[in-house]
């Protein structure tokens, strides 16, 4: 599942739980209703300021909307000297 779809699913579940319509959330977040629909369907990933507005409109912590979205750092290792076989 993409990050945008995961965020959208979390948002939709939370919005339904609060009993607000997309239009009500849009008004409370000072966003256009179509923007809310795009985010909810996972067609658009909101910027951080928009995500904070959405969480505020729903009166939930932002954590509720990013649940299950994590970052795993890439594996990099700095170079180092290695003794030759038989040397201590």
- Does a structural domain hold residue 39? yes
Please give the pLDDT value at position 80.
72
pLDDT at 84: 66
Answer whether residue 71 is part of any domain: no
Give the chain's domain count. Answer: 1
Q: Which residue has the higher pLDDT, 66 or 79?
A: 66
Per-residue pLDDT of 12-59, as tens digits, reads 999 999 999 999 999 999 999 999 999 999 999 999 999 999 999 999
Helix, strand, coil shares, percent, the chain, to 5: 55, 0, 45
Q: Look at residue 83 and tell me if it is in a domain.
A: no
> Residue 36 belongs to what domain range?
3-62
Mean local confidence (pLDDT), 52-72 = 95
| Residue 19 backbone class (left: φ over 0; alpha: ψ -120 to 50; beta: rest) | left
């Amino acid at each position: 599942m993409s990050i945008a779809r995961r965020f959208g699913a979390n948002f939709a579940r939370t919005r339904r739980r609060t009993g607000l319509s997309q239009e009500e959330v849009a008004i409370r977040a000072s966003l256009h209703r179509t923007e809310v629909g795009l985010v909810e369907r996972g067609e658009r990933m909101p910027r951080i300021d928009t995500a904070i507005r959405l969480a505020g409109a729903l009166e939930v912590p932002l954590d509720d909307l990013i649940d299950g979205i994590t970052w795993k750092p890439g594996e990099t290792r700095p170079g180092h000297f290695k003794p030759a076989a038989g040397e201590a």
